[in-house]
Amino acid sequence: NAGVTQTPKFRILKIGQSMTLQCTQDMNHNYMYWYRQDPGMGLKLIYYSVGAGITDKGEVPNGYNVSRSTTEDFPLRLELAAPSQTSVYFCASSSGRDRDYGYTFGSGTRLTVV
Amino acid sequence: GNSVTQMEGPVTLSEEAFLTINCTYTATGYPSLFWYVQYPGEGLQLLLKATKADDKGSNKGFEATYRKETTSFHLEKGSVQVSDSAVYFCALTRNSGGSNYKLTFGKGTLLTVNP
């Protein structure tokens, strides 16, 4: 049971480059989320999705885009990378019954923009 | 809006010491409360939860009691081990409309346990 899989684990980007962070879950969860974790700042929600074809902004969406064409996949796109996007990114999924089960998280992608 | 406040870290303890990490929250209605743990280089894992007032969540020797009167959910363990060294996050979830629940996290508390 793989759970939530994120790739890559590490990446260094130059300012202005673009990349896609991949996230796949095999639990048939409808809800998926992207968070960024900055040192001493906890986790901030970037985007989330309540099902295939439906996405919405979280607290810090600027500079990012998402799509949800299937239940399993929820990629996060960074266009024109900036140093402020240096962070650790976590993808998570849930069944929607979060009051009982909480979220399942991936192991994260550590991104450095130089 | 919803918010979670955790005690500032880092916290450094000796093995077998008693652990308390304070967590208080602000939310309307009746949120569910969680503690997540993040071991070095890994993602967050659910440690324990409580869904209503006076519930006690427990797992791996950790406990936390949902106190509505003090809006608190403090994490405790009677005897910590080196393997408990990690970052601990308090979180809450409320129905944000429809059937979608979104987690709100505290900033995290780094715990280091020395042998």
Nearest by CB to residue B49, choosing from A43, A50, A102, is A102
Q: Give the separation between CA B82 and CA A19, rounded to whole angstroms.
A: 38
Interface mutation vs chain B, best among A34, A43, A47, A57, most B CBs within 10 Å:
A43
- Pairing relation of β-strands B109-114 and B11-14? parallel
State the pLDDT at residue B100.
54
Name every chain A residue with its beta carbon within 8 A of the beta carbon of B108.
40, 42
* pLDDT grade for B74, boundaries at 50, 70 and 90: very high
* pLDDT grade for B93, boundaries at 50, 70 and 90: confident
Which two tokens mark B96?
A: 């944000």
**Residue whose C-alpha is closest to residue B94's, from B42, B22, B34, B19:** B34
Nearest by CB to residue B99, choosing from A42, A96, A107, is A96
Measured between CA atoms, the residue of chain A closest to residue B7 is A40
Q: Is the pLDDT of residue B98 over 60?
A: no
Check if the beta carbon of residue B25 is closer than 8 Å to that of residue B3: yes
Give the whole-number percent of chain B exceeding pLDDT 70.
94
Cβ contact A33–B102 (<8 Å): yes
* pLDDT grade for A40, boundaries at 50, 70 and 90: confident
Q: Is B34 on the interface with A (CB under 8 A)?
A: yes
State the pLDDT at residue B96.
55
- Pairing relation of β-strands A10-13 and B44-50? unpaired
